Structure 1
Amino acid sequence: MYYGSIITVLSSDKNKVTEIAEKLGKLHETAKTKIYYRKKGEYIRSILLTSEYPERIIDLAEALSLSSTAVLYIPETLTWMDGELALLIDSLNTPNKIVISNLEEGKIKNILGSLSTFTKFDLYNDISDLSETKAEDKGVIYIDRVFTVKGVGTVVTGFSFTNVEAHEKLVALPYNKEVEIKSIQVLDEDQKSVSTGVRVGFALKNVKEEEIEDLLYLVKPNIKVGKEIEGQINNYKWSTINQGQNHIIVKGHGVAVNIKIDKERAKVISPIPIPIVDNRISVLNVNVKQGKPRVAGYINL
């Protein structure tokens, strides 16, 4: 059974992002988020990168929210973008952090030291490979495409964050509709089951594309979902979380929500039900002036 890990490469230097990704895998998919793969036995590493940063931050935040490892390249000459990228990693509490830089270790620690999740990270001048890790089971499958294949039926693609078997029944969000997995493919090969951290394709049974055309997730029946989330708000001192509309990042998808703030508490009101599978939700304010971080903070649940 295939298992894997997902890695996002981040940098203010677009050329460096591609250079690092090419060292870690081979380009396989060229959508708005490029996916590089490296396969070793049943282990599959997926490396994600986006090409529209800094113009767009939500695509990058969505990719990073799927990842258990962030690879951050910090150049010798710093800009506001380097700070924003570090804030993004911190706000999503990405478990494994790798920093690539020619700067001295002491300077790197001064740059990142004020961010609570950067108390531990690996620092390299260059990188050629990474050790195998396995994505955590969250009971959810992130979905990015829904389409129809002649002779097969409705097919969805995404990343698995749970073990899934053929003929298993899952709940489709935001529809709260039960669907059955008819068949599973990984790298164009049929599989009876798949584990976490893997790019997957599922054929679904007895459901039409138009019934789930805006599908975001498939989740296990026991996973908690909701339209309202409450927690402790943490606003970065360089940024602003406004009362009202902001974006939150939830397992691969950016969702425009309303946030009500009362001192250190925040209530998130979402237009759609979302899976509550992480203990921290990143908050973005994409309407700030350029040069000010769009990563506003995070909410601890």
Structure 2
Amino acid sequence: MLRGSIVTVLSTNEQEALKIASMLGKKDRGEERVYYRKIGELVRSILIPDSNSVLDEAIAISISSSFYFKVNNEVTWLDGEKALMLEAAGIPGIVLADDANTFRKYFGELGISKFVDEFREFDVDVSDRGLVYVDRAFNVRGVGVVVLGYALTQVSVHDKFIAYPMNLEVEVRSIQVLDEDQDSVMPGTRVGLALRNVRLEDIEGIQTLVKPGTKFTGSINGFTRFKWSDDAREVHVIFNGIKVMGKIEDNYIVLTRELPVVNGRALIINVNAKPRKPRIMGYATINA
């Protein structure tokens, strides 16, 4: 059965990020910022989010199982912001620093400072988080509604899920991975899922598929805040690829839309931070 690793490559220099991605896999013809490599039963997905969008980067990191972070000699505040994002995500990775001593000088307080290393291929299996992240939905003639995304749980044909946030039950009609049909896949796999008995307009704005019976919460009670962050009242919460808004009240966050209670870290983002201040406020650990 196929399983997957999901790798995000971060750098302030996009060409450097693309170079690293090309050493890890091959560019997909249909997806501009995704590379793949199949190694036996493992499918490695390499994501290169837009370095100009902190939310795109946070979404990619939030579904990933590992990272590569390229840092040049001239360390900027944007490097610092990306370092805090990786610290918040709490996943393993490799920091490719032109000068390891300089990197540790700036980021020695962070746990990711222990990840400074030379380039090597590095895969981490994705743990079962109880959902499927969805980044695209469309109609296919003769098939019906298809969603593309990443299985962050085991998925099999005929499984039923709840489409979030519209709270609509759907059934998996078929599964494709790299244009090949599968009966079942393990977490971490890039999937195309054909859904039964649903119209595209019914799931407009879908972000994820969760298992029936999953609990939901309207608040995050307690979060770790980085000392370098600005104060904020309204924040973005990124959780397993899901994006919702929230308001900070003391040490908890009231959400504008309920989140599924599954395993993962929620990244707390303040897009309105002062210039040259990190927009990564902190993180919260959520467990089912």
Give the alignment's TM-score, normalised by structure 2.
0.93
Q: Sort the Cα spacing of 1:159 and 1:241 in 2 relative to 1 into closer, same or farther, 3 A.
A: farther
Q: Which runs of 5+ in 1 are unaligned?
A: none
Alpha-carbon contact 1:29-1:36 (below 8 Å) kept:
no
Q: What SS does the corresponding residue of 1:23 show, helix, strand or coil?
A: helix
Q: Which amino acid aligns with 2:35?
A: Y
Q: What SS does the corresponding residue of 2:117 show, helix, strand or coil?
A: strand
Alignment of 1:215-226 (within 5 A): 215-226=206-217
Identity in percent: 40
The match for 1:267 is 253
The answer to whether 1:114 aligns with 2:109 is yes
C-alpha displacement of 1:70 = 1.3
Q: What SS does the corresponding residue of 2:33 show, helix, strand or coil?
A: strand
1:288 to 256, 273, 280: 273
The match for 1:240 is 230
Alpha-carbon contact 2:244-2:255 (below 8 Å) kept:
no
Q: What SS does the corresponding residue of 2:48 show, helix, strand or coil?
A: strand
C-alpha displacement of 1:292 = 1.2
CA separation in 2, counterparts of 1:205 and 1:270? 30
Q: Which amino acid aligns with 1:249?
A: I
| Runs of 4+ in structure 1 over 4 Å off | none
Q: Which amino acid aligns with 2:70?
A: Y
The match for 1:57 is 54
C-alpha displacement of 1:192 = 0.7
CA separation in 2, counterparts of 1:200 and 1:47? 14
How big is each residue's C-alpha offset from its partner over 1:25-63, in whole Å with a ceiling of 9 and x where there is no partner?
1010565x7110011121110000023x2x321011111
The match for 2:93 is 97
Q: Sort the Cα spacing of 1:252 and 1:30 in 2 relative to 1 into closer, same or farther, 3 A.
A: farther
The match for 1:17 is 17
C-alpha displacement of 1:195 = 0.8
CA separation in 2, counterparts of 1:188 and 1:87? 36
CA separation in 2, counterparts of 1:235 and 1:133? 27
Q: RMSD value over aligned CA atoms?
A: 1.8
C-alpha displacement of 1:122 = 4.6
Give the alignment's TM-score, normalised by structure 1.
0.89
C-alpha displacement of 1:231 = 2.4
The match for 1:134 is 125
The answer to whether 1:71 aligns with 2:57 is no
The match for 1:180 is 171
